[in-house]
Each structure stands twice: as structure tokens, then as C-alpha cells.
């Protein structure tokens, strides 16, 4: 008997509580989820929304990515709380620094990926997490970035334009009704990255609320990272 994949349903995976150690000697808490029966074909390193506005490693799109994509798309999903952020997993040491010292948090996650030899890393940032990906992602060996609802509040024009020289894939999901950056403006502000793919999501909002929006976001992530896994199943076990 199959059940519908929706809401908080957690599909089979190997899940491990992990810690990350930053260059400035902080311990961050997180989780790694990998496929239960096969080696992952790629790795999502997720960067959560603004912690001062309620963002954390369990923000719903990232939690659902970890709950579903190891089973449905053979992806490893790394989630963690940036400095000073709390979730049910625990509290990461340090204090929120507006996106500055968080560069060490991104670096610690990428070092973990290297140590574990996790394949084909992609940064998946949501809102504030997109700022971290844009500002610091080029420093690391990544295959690409997926930016969900980028507000472009902290990443400068120069930091955005620098991606034009990167070979990394750049995929940007912009909700039609975003609170901060809508598709027309996004096309202008990301025009300095000729190879960026901007996907305007009809009816979308900044927080991607609802199962329809969740499935759209996860589908676009998988389309970029492991398109052979599409279409994603809507029931488990798949019918």
C-alpha cells in the first residue's frame, strides 16, 4: 500500500547527527541524510533562511529536502545551523554576524563534505542562505548553486558579477509574489551572470508555503542536480 508524499513525511534514509568545526573554533550542529540503499550521486549543502527571522536548519523546504530526496533522488542532504542558531537538533555556538563570520560556517560545511568524500556538492541557499552562497560559494569546489528566493540584501553587485567567471551552474528560483525580489527585477540584477538560469515560479511566494510549492522547488533542485530522477514520485513506495 502506498501513501502520499506530503507534509512532514520522512522517507527511508540513513540520518546522522553531525557537528562542524569552524576555523574560528566554533561547533555547529547539523544532520547528514544519505540514501539508504545506494551511494549518493550528488550532495546538497543547504544554507537556511535568516535566523533572526526564524530561519534554521529545519526551515520547511530544507527539512523536506532531507526527508524526501535521499530516497527519491539518491541525493545526500547536509543541513546545519549557522552560528548562534537553534533548532530541535540543538544550538550552534557563536552569535549571528549578519553574514560576515558565517563565511567560516560555509567553509566548515564544505570541509565536512571533503572529509566524507561526498560527491558533486551543490550549495542550496534559501533567502539569507542565498546571500551566503553568493558571497562565499565561489571559494569552494562546487558543481553549482541553487538559490531560492534571493533577496540580494547582502551580496553586492560585485559579488554577484564575480560568478560570471565561474564554471559552476547557477540556478535561481524567483517567486512571482516574492516579498523582496520579483522575477523582472531579478533578471536585471542577475544579468551580470550570463549563464545563470532564472526560473520565475508562477504563484510562488518567498516562503514557498504549501505542498504544490514544495514539490515545485524540490523538482527544480533535482532537475539541476540529478535530472534522471525526475519525475519525483508523489507516493511511497512509488507506484
Confidence (pLDDT) at 177:
98
3-state secondary structure the chain: CCEECCCCCCCCCEEEEEEEECCCCCEEEEEEEECCCCCCCEEEEEECCCHHHCCCCCCHHHHHHHHHHHHHHCEEEEEECCCCCEECCEECCCCCCCCCCHHHHHHHHHHHHHHHCCCCEEEEEECHHHHHHHHHHHHCCCCEEEEECCCCCCCCHHHHHHHHHCCCEEEEEEECCCCCCCHHHHHHHCCCCCCCEEEEECCCCCCCCCHHHHHHHHHHHHHHHCHHHCCCCCEECCC
Confidence (pLDDT) at 1:
85
What's the pTM value of the predicted model, to 2 decimals?
0.98
* pLDDT tens digits for range 132-155: 999 999 999 999 999 999 999 999
**Pick among 3.40.50.1820, 3.40.50.2000, 3.20.20.210, 3.40.50.300: CATH of 3-226:** 3.40.50.1820
Amino acid at each position: 500500500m502506498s501513501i502520499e508524499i506530503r507534509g512532514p513525511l520522512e522517507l527511508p534514509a540513513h540520518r546522522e547527527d553531525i557537528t562542524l568545526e569552524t576555523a574560528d573554533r566554533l561547533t555547529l550542529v547539523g544532520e547528514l541524510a544519505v540514501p539508504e540503499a545506494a551511494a549518493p550521486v550528488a550532495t546538497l549543502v543547504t544554507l537556511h533562511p535568516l535566523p533572526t527571522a526564524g530561519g534554521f536548519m529545519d526551515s520547511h523546504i530544507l527539512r523536506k529536502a532531507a526527508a524526501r530526496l535521499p530516497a527519491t533522488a539518491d541525493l545526500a542532504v547536509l543541513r546545519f545551523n549557522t552560528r548562534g542558531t537553534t533548532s530541535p537538533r540543538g544550538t550552534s555556538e557563536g552569535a549571528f554576524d549578519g553574514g560576515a563570520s558565517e563565511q567560516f560556517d560555509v567553509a566548515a560545511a564544505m570541509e565536512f563534505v571533503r572529509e566524507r568524500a561526498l560527491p558533486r556538492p551543490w550549495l542550496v541557499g534559501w533567502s539569507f542562505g542565498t546571500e551566503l552562497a553568493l558571497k562565499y560559494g565561489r571559494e569552494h569546489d562546487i558543481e553549482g548553486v541553487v538559490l531560492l528566493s534571493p533577496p540580494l540584501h547582502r551580496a553586492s553587485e560585485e559579488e554577484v558579477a564575480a560568478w560570471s567567471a565561474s564554471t559552476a551552474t547557477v540556478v535561481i528560483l524567483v517567486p512571482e509574489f516574492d516579498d523582496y525580489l520579483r522575477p523582472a527585477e531579478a533578471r536585471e540584477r542577475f544579468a551580470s551572470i550570463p549563464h545563470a538560469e532564472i526560473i520565475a515560479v508562477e504563484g510562488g511566494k518567498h516562503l514557498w508555503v504549501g505542498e504544490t510549492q514544495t514539490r515545485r522547488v524540490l523538482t527544480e533542485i533535482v532537475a539541476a542536480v540529478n535530472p534522471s530522477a525526475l519525475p519525483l514520485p508523489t507516493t511511497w513506495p512509488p507506484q
